[in-house]
Structures are given as C-alpha cells and as structure tokens.
Amino acid sequence: MISTLFFDVGETILDAEAQMYALAEVHRKVLGGFGFQLTRDEYTQLDKEKVRSFVPSALHAVTWHFARPDVSLYNDITGKLRSHYDEIRQIESRLYPGVGGLLKKLADEYTLGLAANAPASVTDILEDFGVLRWFTHTDVSGSIGIKKPDQRFFETILANAGTKASESVMIGDRLDNDIIPAKRIGMKTIWVRWGRYSIMEPRTPDELPDATVTDVRDVLDAVAMVNTRLE
C-alpha cells in the first residue's frame, strides 16, 4: 500500500510559467547579442526540439547548439545569461488553483514530501503560500546536494523519510527528471502532463508512468487508482 507521496515543486505545485517565459526571452536576446538572431517562434521550436530529446537542460543545449564546438563561447553566453538570474527570480510564481485543497486532502491519508530540483529557500515560498504545513519531509536538491535525475536523489529522500520505494509515489511534470528515475528504483509514478514538458513521450514501455493527469487536482483520484492496483 502507498504511504508516502513525493511532489516536485515547479510546474507541479507552483506555476512558474512567467519565470520560464522571461528566462527564455532573456536567453534569446543574449544569443542575439552574440550574433545568433532568433525570432520567438524559432527559439520556441528549438527549445521544443531539445525538450523532446530528453536533454538535462534545454537551455544549455540551445546555447551549445550555437556555440559548439567553442567551449569558451558557450561559457561566455552562459555567464551573460546567469547575470540576469536575480532579476528573473524576482518574478513571482503562484500556486496552481486547487493545490492547497488537494494537499490538505492528501495529507489526511498520506505522508507528503517534497522532491524537487530547487534551492532550499523554496520552502519559504511554500510557507508563504500556506502549503508547507502539509509536508512532513522537505528535502530538495539545494538541501541534500544532489539533483534529479540522479538515482541517489531518490534514494536519499526515501531514506530520510524512512519509507520504501514500493510504498511511495513520485508526482511531477517531467518524464526525464521525475518519472523515469523514480520508476527505476521501484517507486510508483504520476505524471502531471502539462506545461513545457508535456511534449515529452515515453520512449519505451518502461518509461510509462503508472498514471497520467493533465490537471494536478486530479492527482487525488490518480493516487487512489494506483493504490487500488496494489491491493
């Protein structure tokens, strides 16, 4: 039986679309400053191409697309882009509609944990939105020093939570970072298929999630369905 649910944060609990759009636009303009002119549509198509190919970072892959094989140029573009990170972080994210009620209902029946590639300070944002209280475990990459999709990330959050992979569900928006590595260590998985990474497709049956939803509010029913299959 399922006892613990682990949630990604960005694009699963928090709507960070405005930040991602701003980052993409700054990236496009930075590339233009180095002589690589792209329309918004051209940039979007290239970004989608990289996302579909399961690269760890589409942003870095797009930069390398233009800079290769010049590592120095790649580093210069990346450095210029990073100089804008602070201003992009100032753009406020928001809680997806219905997430507060969802987490409250789930916390009545399951233990909840975080499982995100995010700075440790993301817990402050969740606290401000009033939802951190529903999470018993708050490990993120910034607090444990390991990032998804590294298998050790999932092994660490499970160990810290004192729970087994077979009794846990990973819930996230990315096949590559959330679903596939969690499945590999025996966790059940629910793919929140929306936003930027919804265009990904499982490459083999082994990469299929146990359930797929297109609205995070449907996770409640998805968890119940996954649990029923284990009975």
Residue ranges of domains in the chain: 4-15+94-230, 17-89
What pLDDT sits at residue 127? 97
Contacts of 45 (CB under 8 A, 6+ apart): none
| pLDDT tens per residue, range 41-90 | 999 999 999 999 999 999 999 999 999 999 999 999 999 999 999 999 89
Task: Name the pLDDT band for 92 (thresholds 50, 70, 90).
Answer: confident
Counting other chains too, the contacts that 199-202 makes at CB distance below 8 Å and 24 or more residues apart are: 199/48, 199/51, 199/52, 200/51, 200/52, 200/54, 200/174, 200/175, 200/176, 201/52, 201/175, 202/175
**How much of the chain exceeds pLDDT 90, in percent?**
95
Per-residue tokens: 168:
């846990």
Q: With beta carbons less than 8 A apart as the criterion, state whether 153 and 144 touch.
A: yes
Q: Which helix (H) or strand (E) holds 79?
A: helix 71-82
Backbone angles phi, psi at 162, to 5 degrees: 65, 40
Are 119 and 144 within 8 A, CB to CB? no
Query: In angstroms, how far is the first alpha carbon of the chain from the final one?
Result: 7
- Could you say which DSSP state residue 217 is in? G
CATH second-level architecture of 4-15+94-230?
A: 3-Layer(aba) Sandwich (3.40)
CB neighbour burial string for 4-15, b if at least 16 within 10 angstroms, e if fewer: bbbbbbbbbbbb
What are the pLDDT digits (tens) for 120-157? 999 999 999 999 999 999 999 999 999 999 999 999 99
